[in-house]
């Protein structure tokens, strides 16, 4: 089967398609015939070894110091269950599923994943492209806004990077939790964030976020646009800063947290099955919808990676996976 791989860290052109053996599912695994796989900022960071700040050290230790330990790319996928392992109880052949593969390899014709990993049945309203572009950003937004911030109705949240892979879902999830949402994005994305439900949109190109003159219960910075120092001016007393990019200044701020009236929380979200199931329910209930920036063929993976690296995608960049058996070369 065809799979997307990389042999060295570098720009988008280090990715290539190669033939690898089709996986055979273990007893606890399902084999998914992948129809679509997104390229997210996590995939870009792994491909380029572009780990932010202090995460460069654990990043290289985890993914390979000089070259990638695992050449197989791709984390988000959607597709159809082709085969189930002997002990699998919750999926049957033919189920349409979507999920996150923590061990990579999702940008391929087939993927074997444990039944208990972050995988769920796809809501009927979704197509494969939309579904593949949801898990990374939506699971992250759900974890930070609901589990870390415990966002409550009527609370005020500032979401920076509100049109991106995480932000587009953060806006929808914050609204679903009943919060008042101020969304920061570029000029081209103002209509999108309002359409996703934001109460107010701020253009970071024309407005200095640091001097907004408003205060929030939660500031969720998905881009790395503001420092912990700036976040304190934007937060009410007891408010919480959630930065997704963790560097020395964020770690330093967290060390002094207990002495401050405004808090910071540093975390990396887990990818859990329960989150995928909750996500599917929210989609079914109509409170969450996909946001797809662009769709590429797997053969155009380098262009898809370049688009992600631009940091200006709106929602998700998705690759359609054609199958050799269906005539794809
Ligand atoms: N800690 C964790 O567990 C975790 C989990 C997931 C992701 N992450 C990290 O979270 C980050 C966000 O990922 P993502 O997929 O959402 O990224 P993305 O899709 O590239 O997000 C881009 C967003 O940032 C905005 N933006 C671009 N330049 C900006 C600037 N100079 N100032 C303010 N905003 C700007 C864009 O707005 P316009 O395009 O409208 O200009 C867009 O809204 C990544 O660094 C990723 O590695 C961390």
Residue nearest to atom 25 of ligand 1 (CA): 161
Distance CA 65, CA 121 (A): 36
pLDDT for 122 equals: 98
Distances (CA, A) of 157 to 166, 174, 183, 269: 15, 8, 8, 19
Percentage of residues of the chain with pLDDT beyond 90: 92
How do beta strands 292-297 and 316-320 pair?
Answer: parallel
Dmax (CA) of the chain = 63
Asked if 98 and 150 sit in the same domain, the reply is no
Residues contacting 316, CB < 8 A, separation 6+: 38, 40, 76, 132, 133, 134, 136, 137, 165, 290, 291, 292, 293
Residue 87: other Cβ atoms inside 10 A = 10
Report if residue 281 sits inside a domain. Answer: no
Looking at the structure, do residues 128 and 182 belong to the same domain, yes or no? no
Residues 199 and 109 in one domain: no
Residues 125 and 141 in one domain: no
Q: What is the CATH number of the domain that holds 147?
A: 3.40.50.720
3-state secondary structure (DSSP) of residue 156: strand
3-state secondary structure of 217: strand
d(CA 67, CA 60): 9
- The answer to whether residues 299 and 222 belong to one domain is no
Which band of pLDDT confidence, cut at 50, 70 and 90, is reported for residue 56? confident
Q: Are residues 180 and 234 in the same domain?
A: yes
In a domain, residue 278? The reply is: no
Whether residues 41 and 151 share a domain: the answer is no
The answer to the question of residue 277 being in a domain is no
Query: Would you say residue 96 lies in a domain?
Result: yes
Q: Kindly report the pTM of this predicted structure.
A: 0.96
Same domain, 68 and 89: yes
Residue 323 is predicted with a pLDDT of 87
CA angle 115, 77, 102 (to 5 degrees): 60
Ligand 1, atom 5: closest residue by C-alpha: 140
Which residue's CA is the nearest one to ligand 1's atom 22? 164
Looking at the fold, whether 164 and 206 belong to one and the same domain comes out as yes
Q: Does 117 share its domain with 161?
A: no
DSSP-assigned letters across all residues of 51-118: --GGGHHHHHHHH-SSS-S--B---EEEEEEEEE-TT--S--TT-EEEEE-TTS--SBSEEEEETTSS
Inform me whether the pLDDT recorded for 329 exceeds 60. Answer: no
- The residue whose C-alpha atom lies closest to atom 33 belonging to ligand 1 is 225
Q: What's the helix, strand, coil split of the chain in %, to 5? A: 35, 25, 40
> Could you tell me if 41 and 302 are in contact, meaning their C-beta atoms sit under 8 angstroms apart?
no
- Report yes or no: 104 and 73 within 8 Å, Cβ to Cβ: yes
Is residue 53 very low, low, confident or very high in pLDDT (cuts 50, 70, 90)? confident
Closest-CA residue, ligand 1 atom 44, reads 41
d(CA 122, CA 232): 40
Instruction: Give the residue from 32, 140, 99, 125 showing the smallest Cα distance to 277.
Output: 99
Whole-number mean pLDDT of the chain? 96
Number of separate domains in the chain: 2
* 128 CA → ligand 1 middle, Å: 23
Q: Is residue 328 pLDDT above 70, yes or no? A: no
Tell me the per-residue pLDDT of 231-285, one tens digit each, with 9 for 90 and over.
999 999 999 999 999 888 999 999 988 878 999 999 999 999 999 999 999 999 9
Any domain includes 270: no
105: left (phi over 0), alpha (psi -120 to 50) or beta: left
167 and 111 assigned to the same domain: no
Question: What percent of the chain lies above the pLDDT cut of 70?
Answer: 98
**Which of 50, 139, 166, 305 most suits a substitution to test ligand 1, by most atoms within 8 Å of the C-beta?**
166
Ligand 1 pocket, mutate which of 148, 161, 186, 204 (most atoms under 8 A from CB): 161
Please give the residue range of the domain that contains residue 158. 136-264
Q: Using the predicted structure, report yes or no on whether residue 327 has a pLDDT greater than 80.
A: no
CA 166 to ligand 1: nearest atom: 16
DSSP letters along 119-152, please?
Answer: EEEPPTT--HHHHHTSHHHHHHHHIIIIIIS---
Cα dihedral sign for 51, 205, 265, 281?
Answer: negative
Tell me how crowded residue 17 is: count the other CB atoms within 10 A of its CB: 15
**Residue 271: inside a domain:** no
Predicted pLDDT at 266: 95
* Residue in 305, 312, 313, 318 to alter for ligand 1 test, most ligand atoms within 8 A of Cβ: 312
For 23, which DSSP code? P
Q: Give the mean pLDDT of 90-110.
A: 97
120 has a pLDDT exceeding 60: yes
């Amino acid at each position: 089967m065809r799979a997307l791989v990389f042999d060295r860290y570098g720009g988008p052109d280090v990715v290539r398609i190669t033939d690898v053996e089709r996986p055979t599912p273990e007893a606890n695994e399902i084999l998914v015939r992948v129809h679509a796989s997104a390229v997210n900022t996590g995939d870009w960071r792994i491909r380029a070894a572009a780990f932010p700040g202090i995460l460069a050290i654990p990043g290289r230790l985890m993914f390979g110091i000089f070259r990638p330990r695992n050449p197989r790319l791709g984390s988000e996928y959607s597709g159809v269950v082709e085969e189930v392992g002997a002990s699998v109880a919750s999926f049957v052949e033919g189920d349409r599923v979507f999920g996150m593969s923590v061990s990579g390899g999702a940008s391929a014709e087939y993927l074997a994943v444990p039944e208990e990993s972050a995988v769920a049945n796809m809501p009927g309203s979704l197509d494969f492209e939309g579904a593949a572009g949801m898990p990374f950003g939506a699971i992250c937004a759900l974890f930070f806004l609901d589990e870390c911030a415990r966002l409550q109705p009527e609370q005020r949240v500032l979401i920076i990077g509100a049109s991106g892979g995480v932000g587009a879902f953060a806006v929808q999830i914050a609204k679903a939790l009943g919060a008042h949402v101020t969304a920061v994005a570029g000029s081209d994305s103002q209509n999108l964030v309002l359409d996703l439900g934001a109460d107010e949109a701020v253009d970071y190109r024309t407005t200095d976020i640091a001097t907004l003159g408003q205060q929030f219960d939660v500031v969720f910075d998905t881009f790395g646009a503001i420092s912990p120092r700036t976040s304190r001016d934007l937060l009410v007393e007891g408010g919480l800063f959630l930065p997704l990019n963790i560097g020395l200044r964020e770690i330093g701020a967290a060390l002094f947290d207990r002495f401050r009236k405004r808090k910071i929380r540093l975390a990396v979200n887990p990818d859990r099955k329960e989150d995928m199931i909750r996500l599917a329910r929210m989609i079914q209930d109509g409170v969450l919808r996909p946001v797809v920036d662009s769709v590429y063929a797997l053969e155009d993976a380098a262009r898809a990676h370049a688009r992600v690296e631009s940091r200006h995608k709106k929602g998700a960049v998705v690759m359609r996976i054609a199958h050799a058996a269906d005539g794809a070369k």
